[in-house]
Amino acid sequence: MKTEILYDNTDSDIERAAELLKGGAIVAFPTETVYGLGANALDSAAVKKIFEAKGRPSDNPLIVHLSYPQEAEKYAFTNELFYRLTRFMPGPLTVILKKRENIPDAVTAGLDSVALRVPYYLPARKLIKLAGVPVAAPSANISGKPSPTKAQHVIDDMTGKVEAILCGADCSVGVESTVVKIVGDNRLVICRPGGVTKEMLENICSEVEIDPAVISKFEGAPISPGMKYKHYSPDADVILLIGTEEQIIKYISDKSDFGILCFDEDKHLLTRGNALSLGREKDFSLQAARLFDCLRSFDKDKSIKTIYARMPGDDGVGLAVRNRLLKAAGFDIVRL
């Protein structure tokens, strides 16, 4: 398949991408979290093409992207708590609600709920509005690989597999949206942590829980089917290390063919050719923005067989960074 390369700073290119979506094509596009791979959510045949292009298991449901929060009414049953959550919409938040009939099973993997999100990044909203349809979109990576946060990542993964790639800015948040499930009138369960943090959600809801699958190995059924798969994984094995810089230097002294993911404060590690910094140890937003690009950079060097990563903090957006690294590592942690 020939893949058209389009640019989101050109109106006619956004219009072209919208036309393609309307016509049943699959089109990758930027959002503030990660690049998505979109299709008309009301067109099952188009939605199925997304699963093929990514190699995604068909039991993993997709997020439906809207241009306004109020459109949720058309596709799902909302409640008062949903409207409190619209304080974070547009933004990096996905809300799971009971679905209406018009959302096909191909999108929800047969579940009776649907995940809805309104992206903040303006060209994404323009695209959805112009297409005039809800847009089902997972992250635009090959299934299991780190999500794409730069246009080049999508070009690397999806050229020849999709009708078009709309290229835009690097993703400012850099990790996928926070996924929350509304339970009853006043309870939220975080199924996947992201840019809208637990602390932020607690400002509008007194009962906010974190699904155990976020920080521990999957045993049983997580609320979001996607959380059970090995995810975000570069080709190299990822191992998380808990310890001081000195302990890590000692630990790696007899190792070979590895890269190290650390923080700006790790001055001695950073003098080595094989280390990349995620940013300062407490700068969780920068760590989120850089994480997937760092994992993809290590994979470009085919001699790297293992990536040792320092365990990030878990405050605020740090929890999202920790969750993605834990999943990339398959929960493989070494305590020094």
Interacting residues with ligand TXA (CB under 6 A): 31, 33-34, 36, 60-63, 94, 96, 108, 111, 113-115, 117, 137-139, 176-177, 179, 191-192, 223-227
**CB 300 to ligand TXA: min, Å:** 22
Rounded Cα distance between 33 and 45, Å, is: 26
> Would the CA dihedral through 165, 166, 171, 176 be positive or negative?
negative
Between residues 115 and 294, which has the closer beta carbon with respect to Mg ion? 115
**Minimum CB distance to Mg ion, residue 147 (Å):** 5
Segment near Mg ion (CB under 5 A); pick from 65-73, 85-93, 132-140, 327-335: 132-140
Identity at 282, one-letter amino acid code: K
Rounded to a whole number of angstroms, the minimum distance from the CB of residue 126 to ligand TXA is 15
Work out whether the CA dihedral 147, 153, 155, 159 comes out positive or negative. Answer: negative
Among left, alpha and beta (phi > 0; psi -120 to 50; other), residue 198 is alpha
Q: Which of 31, 40, 113, 139 binds Mg ion (CB under 5 A)?
A: 139
Contacts with Mg ion: how many residues (CB under 5 A)? Answer: 1
Smallest distance from Mg ion to CB 112, Å = 22
CB of 224 to ligand TXA, least distance (A): 3
Of 122-130, 135-143, 177-185, 212-220, the window that binds Mg ion (rule: CB under 5 A) is: 135-143
Least distance to ligand TXA, CB of residue 112, Å: 8
Nearest to 102 by CA among 146, 71, 56: 71
Residue nearest to ligand TXA (CB): 226
Q: Which is nearer to Mg ion, 194 or 318 (CB)?
A: 194
Using the minimum distance from each CB to Mg ion, give the nearer residue, 94 or 139. Answer: 139
Structure-block tokens of residue 276: 């990349």
Distance CA 163, CA 271 (A): 43
Residue 171, binding choice from ligand TXA, Mg ion, none, Cβ under 5 to 8 Å by partner class: none
Q: Name the residue nearer to ligand TXA (CB basis): 158 or 252.
A: 158
**3-class secondary structure for 139-200?**
ECCCCCCCCCCCHHHHHHHHCCCCCEEEECCCCCCCCCCEEEEEECCCEEEEEECCCCCHHH
Which is nearest to 139 in space by CA: 294, 230, 34? 34
Q: How many helices (H) and strands (E) does the chain have?
A: 12, 17
